[in-house]
Amino acid sequence: MVKISSIVGLATYVFLAAALITHALAIWGSSSTTLPGIYVVKLGKQFNEHQVNVTLGYGGICLYAETQGKPDGGHVSKCKSFISFPDTSDNSSISDEDQTKHLRDHFIDELELENEDLSPIESTLDELLVVAKRLKNKVFPVNWMIAAFALLAFSGVLAIIPLFFHSENRRTVSMFLIAATGICLAFGLLALGGAAAATWSALAVLYTEKQLAKTLERQQWDISFYGSKSLFQITVATIVLNMAFAVCVALAAAIRNHRRRVKEKKHGGGRASILPPKASKRMAQAKRKFRS
């Protein structure tokens, strides 16, 4: 039983570490040019010789642009984590053209593109940024993914504490911590599942061009749309790993309870066997006095 408990305990933290890594990749992987395949949606448009792609993830946005007319190819590749688009939709005094220019200037400043010559792709970039802003602010649930990550990480901390807690009340504390771990896991998986379901539902709508143009307030849809299989696989892996972590926590609790019961039977059972030594002696003395 000791070997089984050790294996289950090790598997618990391996699954937890793997789940947190994949979860972090799902959120922040889209903010790095080294992981170009991790994003929620990629918007692309080609105008003459200029190909412009904007990838939008839960926690980041990237710009990939190629200008074939330049000697060096004019390749631009930049990413930024947690970019916040300026919200000027409620300000009726600003014209649509000024709002678009303000959005572009904000994007260039956030991604530090001041030294890049974006004039050939300026109009195309404006179109993509307007759509990306609407998608990020109104469609994809970034906050739910972050909340799920925080809850699942906290549940891991709660599950680890009993390993370093030594006290006469360790059993009570461990039971409380396991219950708290289960609650955090439940809400974390609920948030993660809700974010994933909302994302997949939104992507299903985006696959329909007419509905997509209507949703994003465009007369026609002239932008290419691409989904990411990598993000789907990472999200599914995160959910599976968290479920495996939950199963291991439940098994560890069951094994610990079984070992306690075996120990009680080995020592003759009864309440005296699970009491501290001094309390057991006092109870034994009280029994002898009562019998006499």
Query: Residue 237: its pLDDT value, please?
Result: 92
With beta carbons less than 8 A apart as the criterion, state whether 198 and 141 touch. Answer: yes
Token pair recorded at residue 166:
């030594």
Query: Residue 1: its pLDDT value, please?
Result: 47
With beta carbons less than 8 A apart as the criterion, state whether 17 and 27 touch. Answer: no
In the chain (292 residues long), the average pLDDT of successive 10-residue segments reads 71 88 90 86 81 88 74 74 69 69 85 82 85 81 86 86 64 79 88 86 68 56 75 90 86 74 64 50 63 61
Handedness of CA 275, 278, 282, 288 (dihedral sign): positive
| Domain boundaries along the sequence of the chain | 1-29+141-208+229-292, 41-139
With beta carbons less than 8 A apart as the criterion, state whether 187 and 205 touch. Answer: no
